[in-house]
Amino acid sequence: MYFKRRPLIIVVAVAALMTALFTGCESGRADGDSSVPQKTPLLDVSLSTSDPQNQRIQAAQLTNGWRSEDGSAYEADSPHPLQMPKGYDEATLFLSAASGEIALQFSDDYPPLSVSVQRWDARHAGTDSADVWENGEQVAVSANTFNIENDGNDYIYEVHANWEQGYSWYAFRVNAAELIAIPQPRRL
């Protein structure tokens, strides 16, 4: 009798495994609710310009906190964006056009309830001055996008995102490349 049930047990185990793989157990989502991630979403930032080579990076995740459906919670603290110890080597966009549009895309297709953005001139990187920290320039955001102009300065951006389950702050840098004036042909 034991040997007759063994194939049935194997079939049931394989079916359960396949069901688990294809019903939302990936992406850190909570069991039973495929719309709420188990942890704070990551942030991808894309820069679209007139240049055909659009750029996409993952922003550095800073201070964040999250409460899962099962009641577990965590909080993680980080330095201010101007104090980032390793800088923004992996989280830098290069703006070589006169202007561009930044789009914010949160992982797990789980948009926040609110988003705010501020920026600082990158010359302030490494500062410990609370006066500088508190005087970031607010950036107007609409539908998780905002426009930037190439004024020749580099900026460090901080994004604050809030969900019902928690919050996360992110940072990235936009490095403005010098615009090269292309001489116009002379007319004879």
Tell me: do 30 and 68 sit in the same domain: no
Give the count of beta carbons closer than 10 Å to the beta carbon of residue 148.
20
Q: By the 8 A CB rule, do 46 and 102 touch?
A: yes
On whether residue 187 sits in a domain, the answer given is no
Looking up residue 90, the CATH number of its domain turns out to be 2.60.40
In a domain, 98, yes or no: yes
Whether 30 is covered by a domain: the verdict is yes
**Dihedral, CA of residue 8, residue 9, residue 11 and residue 14, to nearest 10:** 180
For the stretch 51-74, pLDDT in tens is 766 788 899 999 999 998 888 899
pLDDT at 28 over 50: no
Do 23 and 55 belong together in one domain?
no
Q: Are residues 57 and 107 in the same domain?
A: yes
Q: Return the structure tokens found at 102.
A: 């930044």
For residues 3 and 55, membership in a common domain is answered with no
Residue 122 lies in a domain: yes
Q: What is the pLDDT of residue 123?
A: 86
Q: Which of 184, 116, 123, 118 is nearest to 152 (CA)?
A: 123
Q: Is 172 part of a structural domain of the chain?
A: yes
Same domain, 73 and 117: yes
The Cα 186–Cα 188 span in angstroms is 6
Full-model pTM: 0.73
3-state secondary structure of 167: strand
Name the pairing type of β-strands 73-76 and 60-67. Answer: antiparallel
pLDDT at 68: 86
Instruction: Give a yes or no: residue 100 inside a domain.
Output: yes
User: Mean pLDDT of all residues in the chain?
Assistant: 77
Shared-domain flag, residues 108 and 64 = yes
Band (38; pLDDT cuts 50, 70, 90): confident
Task: Tell me the mean pLDDT in the region 100-123.
Answer: 92
- Give the model's confidence band at 104: pLDDT under 50 very low, under 70 low, under 90 confident, else very high: very high
On whether both 29 and 99 belong to a single domain, the answer is no
Whether pLDDT at 3 is above 50: no
- Do 103 and 21 fall within a single domain? no
Q: What is the pLDDT of residue 93?
A: 81
Kindly state whether residues 27 and 54 are assigned to the same domain.
no
More confident residue, 1 or 169: 169
How many domains does the chain divide into? 2
Query: In terms of residue numbers, what domain contains 5?
Result: 1-34
Backbone angles phi, psi at 32, to 5 degrees: 85, -15
pLDDT at 5: 43
pLDDT of residue 85: 62
Say if 182 falls within a structural domain: no
- Average pLDDT for residues 99-108, to the nearest whole number? 91
Please tell me the distance from the alpha carbon of residue 85 to that of residue 79, in angstroms, as a whole number: 8
| Range of weakest confidence among 10-14, 58-62, 152-156, 161-165 | 10-14
Q: 147 with 83, same domain?
A: yes
Tell me, yes or no, whether 23 and 59 share the same domain.
Answer: no
Task: Please indicate, yes or no, whether residues 161 and 85 belong to a single structural domain of this protein.
Answer: yes
Q: With respect to residue 93, please indicate whether it lies within any of the assigned structural domains.
A: yes
Q: What is the mean pLDDT of residues 166-183?
A: 75
Residues 162-187: what's their mean pLDDT? 73
- What is the SS3 string spanning 108-134? HHCCCCEEEEEEEEHHHCCCCCHHHHC
